């Protein structure tokens, strides 16, 4: 179970109806859950799948919502007759949902999967039955401040005990967890920052960017791709800067929690003059070890054979390849995924 607060049971399911160009849609769903059900026309001899895919938070339209929809459509196109029910979730909680059998497929971060396997915060016990299918794309921790903010490094903020007003993401989110862990590696906690006059705000990246623009906070963090929409928006009307994460902190986070070395390219934002050193995590597709090997083999094969389509789903997936899918997952590959990657030669 997770230690983080704020996780609830499954929310209302998002209603998304897709029309597929490659296959027709069937009107009958095998899912026993209310939800966002997508189904293809059973025109092949392969056994149809009846799976739930837990993605992002309720509301729709976010990156994970779009990617989850693209994955569902890919499965539908390649495995006709299958039913995929889209379930809203959150990166950390999605691991528990798959572990508890509330969904057969889910999106999370490689660092969260690694924490689950090790049984470290935010998990109170080891979760070893959640396996990876594919690594999808990388996200980097971005520390955005107003340009006039006095500090030019995170270390300077800590050393000088600056009274920073910092938004760190929604409580228990992958971004908030990454920020909390990073600060701990610098030797401070949220309480420490507030004890010397600072303030911690738990806000999502969009609201945090608005608060920065309105002068209500000094800085905010987000764990996502670069360029990120909220950063682009606030930087279009206000002068901002990005603070790097010191190399020793990055190395410690990699060693302890399975994060990855990450560089924000100076080309990502027009306010950057140099590349920014930070740390990151891979967004991955997960499943339960008990899901049949053949089913996950077929799903993995469907994803690899439909890469051209997946590249169009979202810019985050534009560099997705069979080779990248098999690496950096944080948790062991499911036997079905591993078998397919070995078969096509991207694993040795």
Say whether pLDDT at 115 is over 60.
Answer: yes
Q: Which of 9-23, 55-69, 108-122, 127-141 has the lowest mean pLDDT?
A: 9-23
> Which has more confidence, 200 or 64?
200
Q: What pLDDT, on a 0 to 100 scale, did the predictor assign at position 57?
A: 52
Q: Which residue has the tokens 């806000």?
A: 203
Determine phi and psi for 241, rounding to 5 degrees: -145, 165
Say whether pLDDT at 41 is over 80.
Answer: no
> Which has more confidence, 253 or 60?
253
Who's near 235: CB < 8 A, 6+ residues apart? Answer: 269, 270, 271
Mean pLDDT in residue range 306-323 = 95
Q: What pLDDT, on a 0 to 100 scale, did the predictor assign at position 249?
A: 98
Q: What pLDDT, on a 0 to 100 scale, did the predictor assign at position 58?
A: 43
Mean pLDDT in residue range 109-120 = 94
Say whether pLDDT at 43 is over 80.
Answer: no
At 22, the pLDDT band (50, 70, 90 cuts) reads very low
Q: 37 has which bridge partners? A: 85
Say whether pLDDT at 331 is over 90.
Answer: yes
Q: Which of 90-99, 184-193, 320-329 has the lowest mean pLDDT?
A: 90-99
Mean pLDDT in residue range 218-228 = 95
Q: What pLDDT, on a 0 to 100 scale, did the predictor assign at position 61?
A: 65
The pLDDT tens digits for 285-311 are 999 999 999 999 999 999 999 999 999
CA distance 81 to 103: 19
The pLDDT tens digits for 143-174 are 999 999 999 999 999 999 999 999 999 998 88
**Percent of the chain scoring above 70 in pLDDT:** 85
Mean pLDDT in residue range 8-22 = 35
For the chain, the maximum distance between any two Cα atoms, rounded to a whole number of angstroms, is 67
Q: What pLDDT, on a 0 to 100 scale, did the predictor assign at position 117?
A: 95
Where do the domains of the chain lie, and which CATH numbers do they carry? 36-137+284-344 (3.40.190.10), 139-281 (3.40.190.10)
> Which has more confidence, 59 or 198?
198
Average pLDDT score, the chain: 87
Mean pLDDT in residue range 265-292 = 97
**Percent of the chain scoring above 90 in pLDDT:** 77
Q: What pLDDT, on a 0 to 100 scale, did the predictor assign at position 85?
A: 87
For the record, the structure tokens of 84 come out as 């995929």
Say whether pLDDT at 7 is over 50.
Answer: no
CA distance 42 to 40: 6
At 9, the pLDDT band (50, 70, 90 cuts) reads very low
Say whether pLDDT at 341 is over 60.
Answer: yes
Q: Which of 60-69, 193-202, 276-285 has the lowest mean pLDDT?
A: 60-69
Question: Do 280 and 90 form a contact (C-beta atoms < 8 A)?
Answer: no
Q: What pLDDT, on a 0 to 100 scale, did the predictor assign at position 348?
A: 87
Mean pLDDT in residue range 164-188 = 95
CA distance 94 to 52: 12
At 86, the pLDDT band (50, 70, 90 cuts) reads confident
Say whether pLDDT at 109 is over 70.
Answer: yes
State the SS3 of the chain: CECCCCCCCCCCCCCCCCCCCCCCECCCCCCCCCCEEEEECCCCCCCCCEEEEECCCCCCCCHHHHHHHHHHHHHHHHCCCCEEEEECCCHHHHHHHHHCCCCCEEEEEHHHHHHHHHCCCCECCCCCCEEEEEEEEEEEEEEEEECCCCCCCHHHHHHCCCCCEEECCCCCCHHHHHHHHHHHHCCCCHHHHHHCCCEEECCCHHHHHHHHHCCCCCEEEEEECCCCHHHHHHHHHCCEEEECCCHHHHHHHHHHHCCEEEEECCCCCCCCCCCEEEEEEEEEEEEECCCCHHHHHHHHHHHHHCHHHHHHHCHHHCCCCHHHHCCCCCCCECHHHHHHHHHHCCCC
The pLDDT tens digits for 239-264 are 999 999 999 999 999 999 989 999 99
Own/partner long-range contacts of 155-158 (Cβ < 8 Å, ≥24 apart): 155/186, 155/246, 158/183, 158/186, 158/187, 158/188
CA distance 270 to 227: 10
For the record, the structure tokens of 1 come out as 């179970």
């Amino acid at each position: 179970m997770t230690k983080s607060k704020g996780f609830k049971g499954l929310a209302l399911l998002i209603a998304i109806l897709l029309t597929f160009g490659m296959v027709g849609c069937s009107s009958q769903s095998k899912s026993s859950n209310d939800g966002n059900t997508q189904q293809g026309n059973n025109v092949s001899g392969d056994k149809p799948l009846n799976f739930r895919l837990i993605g992002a938070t309720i509301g729709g339209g976010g990156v994970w919502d779009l990617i989850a929809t693209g994955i569902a459509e890919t499965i539908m196109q390649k495995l006709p007759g299958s039913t995929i029910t889209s379930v809203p979730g959150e990166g950390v909680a999605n691991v528990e949902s798959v572990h508890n059998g509330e969904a057969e497929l889910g999106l999370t971060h490689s660092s969260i999967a690694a924490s689950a396997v090790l049984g470290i915060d935010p998990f109170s016990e080891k979760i070893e039955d959640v396996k990876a299918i594919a690594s999808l794309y990388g996200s980097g921790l971005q520390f955005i401040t107003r340009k006039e903010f006095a500090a030019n490094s995170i270390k300077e903020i800590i050393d000088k005990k600056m009274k920073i007003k910092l938004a760190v993401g929604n409580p228990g989110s992958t971004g908030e967890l990454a920020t909390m862990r990073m600060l701990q590696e610098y030797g401070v906690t949220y309480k420490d920052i507030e004890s010397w006059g600072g303030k911690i705000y738990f806000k999502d990246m969009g609201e945090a960017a608005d608060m920065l623009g309105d002068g209500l906070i000094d800085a905010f963090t987000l764990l996502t791709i670069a360029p990120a929409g909220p950063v682009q928006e606030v930087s279009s009307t206000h002068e901002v800067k990005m603070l790097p994460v010191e190399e020793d902190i990055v190395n410690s986070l990699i060693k302890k929690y399975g994060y990855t070395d990450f560089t924000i390219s100076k080309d990502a934002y027009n306010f950057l003059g140099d590349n920014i050193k930070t740390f990151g995590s891979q967004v991955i597709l997960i499943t339960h070890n008990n899901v049949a090997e053949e089913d996950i083999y077929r799903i993995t094969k469907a994803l690899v054979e439909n890469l051209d389509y997946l590249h169009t789903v979202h810019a985050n997936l534009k560099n997705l390849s069979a080779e990248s899918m098999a690496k950096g997952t944080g948790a062991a590959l499911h036997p079905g995924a591993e078998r397919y990657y070995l078969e096509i030669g991207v694993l040795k």
